[in-house]
Amino acid sequence: MTRSWRIHRAAVLAILLHAAAFAQPREYDWSATQEIAPGVRYTHLALTEPRVMNMFAMRIDARNPRIRFHTTERFPEWVGNLNETRRTTTRDFMREARTAGMNMVAAINADAFEPWPAPYARRSPSDLRGLAVSEGELVSPPLEDGATFVVYNDGRVAISHTIRSVEGIKVAVSGFAIVLEDGVASGADQRLAPRTGIGVSADGQYVYWLVIDGRRHASQGATTEEVGRWLLHFGANDGVNLDGGGSASMVRHDPTAEGDGVVLLNNPVGDGTDWLKSDPSVEKEKYRPTERANGNNLGVYLVSEKQ
């Protein structure tokens, strides 16, 4: 066997293996994953194909009677399309919710925001990109062509292109684009970057959260189409690409952890550093996760069984 044929065969095999990962997209075994709270399961995958990539995913049972969703509330001096929220890290969002008496167990970042660029850790006012609703109150008005995750007052969840009225909506957060629609993945952004995605199963029972680390030699990131394909793999039928880059964050509450138990699960590059542009040995020696103050965040919390 010639060397060129071995290389060709290896390349074909790699392509086939990558395609096979999505050939049975709805067979991911969530039953073998960690249940971090009633109705909430968590998994972490470390991949080497098609590139080095670390991803973090959660499946949330929206029909579990104890499950509720919550997102960032209005800025105290709210002005639509200007000062809509106060930026905060995803961990601080959870900390503040728990301090206020909300039993929040997991959270991710959500909408993109302006002005940008902004000091990455400053808790400054922000203008969100797209529809946001918190506890039934409009936080940010919808775009003409949006990509929104919606929780209705009756507990139903959905992904929507266009929402003209917030009547009947309890929670909504938006992203850049829908990357999974009726089981078909798509995405125009071919850059490799940290990503955050959210998806909903075809029957509306499950909500899927996905965060993929990027801009590091240890995890090089994903395209937007890959976000859609991975949401499909985990069980979603429709999905949205939320804000990514240095904003991509996933946290959980772990009662066994030290301190307040609010744990950062992924490894964000919130300060904007692109470690792929540095020597790998420098990253290994000096990298530390940095958290960005995001325009808004999305959390899941538990209510008592009597509520």
Percent of residues, the chain, with pLDDT higher than 70: 91
Q: Which residue segment(s) compose the domain that 205 sits in?
A: 3-302
Instruction: Quote helix, strand, coil % in the chain, to nearest 5.
Output: 20, 35, 45
Does residue 241 sit within a domain?
A: yes
pLDDT score, position 11: 39
pLDDT score, position 144: 84
Amino acid at 50: P
pLDDT score, position 261: 97
pLDDT score, position 26: 54
Does residue 175 sit within a domain?
A: yes
pLDDT tens track for 183-204: 999 999 999 999 999 999 999 9
pLDDT score, position 307: 67
Does residue 307 sit within a domain?
A: no
pLDDT tens track for 18-31: 444 444 345 799 99
Does residue 276 sit within a domain?
A: yes
Q: What is the mean pLDDT of residues 138-153?
A: 94
Lowest mean pLDDT among 81-85, 160-164, 270-274: 160-164
Q: What is the mean pLDDT of residues 243-249?
A: 98
Residues 239, 232: Cα–Cα separation, whole Å: 8
Q: How far is CA 65 from the centre of its chain?
A: 23
Does residue 36 sit within a domain?
A: yes
Does residue 67 sit within a domain?
A: yes
Q: Are 85 and 291 spatial neighbours (Cβ–Cβ below 8 Å)?
A: no
Residues 222, 49: Cα–Cα separation, whole Å: 11
pLDDT score, position 7: 36
* Structural domains counted in the chain: 1
Q: How many CB atoms lie within 10 A of CB 73?
A: 17
Does residue 45 sit within a domain?
A: yes
Q: What is the mean pLDDT of residues 288-296?
A: 98
pLDDT band at 17 (very low <50, low <70, confident <90, very high): very low
pLDDT score, position 164: 83
